[in-house]
């Protein structure tokens, strides 16, 4: 070891210019590696935020025939205690229906949220293109949809359910989620409005969450299968997981 050190020292001290050039080359090489690593990490974070930053990472759904979840407040409390990786939680009441404008009807997906909670996932305040977030008897629609049929903030429209019930609501705002399909199909309101129109009572159709580490979605879903009722299933960005009511075996689809 001492001999190798002496040889190296003699080589480095014999030509100071060459030694300086070698040290500079090593420093530049390390700097390039650090820069490329930081660039890749930044691009990954930007790509993840752009593609799935405003979506649910793990969604709790009902496996019952009516596809609804009762006593969701206690389930939300259990979810919060299950994993510290969960940063946002929002109940949702979804239903397929129609919007009637004049004599024309258009299919929509009604999405009822506790707006303040859903804003943590969907950034609704940030994505609001015009107007205000919905209050009682109000909805917001996507920019593509309102442009296509000529709706403006303040207009009145009718919500029609598949079983014939109608409800007049006001358009309080227009959003732009940067996804054409969502902009054309989602009608967002407060959760109580959807529960009333579609007669859900105090039930919801799902509980949506976001994680600090999105790639741990399957791990979090595995934890939830052991803490929540067997009547629930868990849809992640990659799979749907649920507990078979009879065998108790995890299944993946």
In terms of domains, do 84 and 20 share one? no
Angle at 91 between CA 86 and CA 94, to 5 degrees: 135
Based on the structure, what is the number of domains in the chain? Answer: 2
Distance from the Cα of residue 96 to its chain's centroid: 20
In terms of domains, do 102 and 26 share one? no
- What pLDDT was estimated at residue 245? 37
In terms of domains, do 9 and 123 share one? no
Helix orientation angle between 72-82 and 217-227, rounded to the nearest 10 degrees: 120
Task: Determine the structural domain holding residue 41 and report its residue range.
Answer: 2-51
Alpha helix positions (H), 53-114: 72-82
Is residue 96, in this structure, part of any structural domain at all?
Answer: yes
Is residue 211, in this structure, part of any structural domain at all?
Answer: no
In terms of domains, do 112 and 171 share one? yes
Neighbours of 40 (CB within 10 A): 10
Is residue 249, in this structure, part of any structural domain at all?
Answer: no
In terms of domains, do 71 and 186 share one? yes
In terms of domains, do 105 and 20 share one? no
- pLDDT, tens digit only, all 253 positions of the chain: 677 767 666 666 777 777 777 777 888 888 888 878 777 766 665 555 555 556 788 999 998 878 899 989 999 999 988 888 899 999 999 999 999 988 889 999 999 999 999 998 988 998 998 999 999 899 999 999 999 999 999 999 999 999 889 999 999 999 998 888 889 999 999 999 999 999 999 999 999 999 888 888 888 888 888 888 888 888 887 554 444 433 333 333 4
Is residue 240, in this structure, part of any structural domain at all?
Answer: no
In terms of domains, do 92 and 171 share one? yes
Name which of 241, 208, 220 is nearest 85 in CA terms: 220
In terms of domains, do 47 and 101 share one? no
Is residue 148, in this structure, part of any structural domain at all?
Answer: yes
In terms of domains, do 77 and 184 share one? yes
In terms of domains, do 47 and 84 share one? no
Reported for 201-205, long-range contacts at CB under 8 A and 24+ positions apart, including other chains, are 202/70, 203/68, 203/69, 203/70, 203/72, 203/93, 204/68, 204/69, 204/72, 204/91, 204/92, 204/93, 205/61, 205/62, 205/67, 205/68, 205/69, 205/92, 205/93, 205/94, 205/95
In terms of domains, do 45 and 146 share one? no
């Amino acid at each position: 070891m001492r001999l190798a050190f002496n040889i190296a020292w003699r080589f480095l001290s014999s030509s100071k210019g060459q030694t300086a050039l070698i040290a500079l080359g090593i420093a530049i090489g390390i700097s390039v590696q650090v820069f490329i690593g930081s660039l890749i990490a930044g691009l990954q974070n930007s790509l993840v935020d752009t593609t799935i930053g405003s979506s649910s990472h793990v969604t709790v759904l009902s496996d019952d025939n009516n596809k609804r979840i009762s006593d969701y407040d206690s389930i939300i409390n259990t979810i919060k205690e299950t994993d510290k990786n969960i940063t946002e939680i929002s109940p949702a009441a979804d239903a397929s229906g129609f919007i009637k404008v004049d004599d024309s009807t258009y299919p929509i997906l009604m999405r009822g949220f506790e707006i303040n909670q859903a804003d943590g996932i969907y950034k609704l305040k940030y994505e609001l293109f015009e107007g205000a977030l919905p209050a009682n008897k109000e909805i917001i629609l996507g920019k593509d949809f309102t442009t296509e049929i000529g709706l403006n903030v303040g207009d009145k429209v009718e919500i029609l359910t598949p079983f014939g019930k109608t409800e007049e609501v006001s358009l309080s705002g227009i959003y732009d989620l940067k996804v054409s399909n969502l902009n054309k199909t989602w009608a967002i309101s407060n959760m109580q409005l959807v529960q009333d129109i579609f007669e859900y009572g105090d039930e919801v159709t799902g509980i949506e969450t976001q994680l600090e580490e999105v790639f741990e979605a399957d791990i979090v879903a595995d934890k939830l299968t052991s803490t929540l009722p067997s009547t629930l299933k868990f849809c992640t960005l990659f799979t749907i997981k649920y507990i078979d009511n009879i065998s108790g075996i995890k299944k993946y689809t």
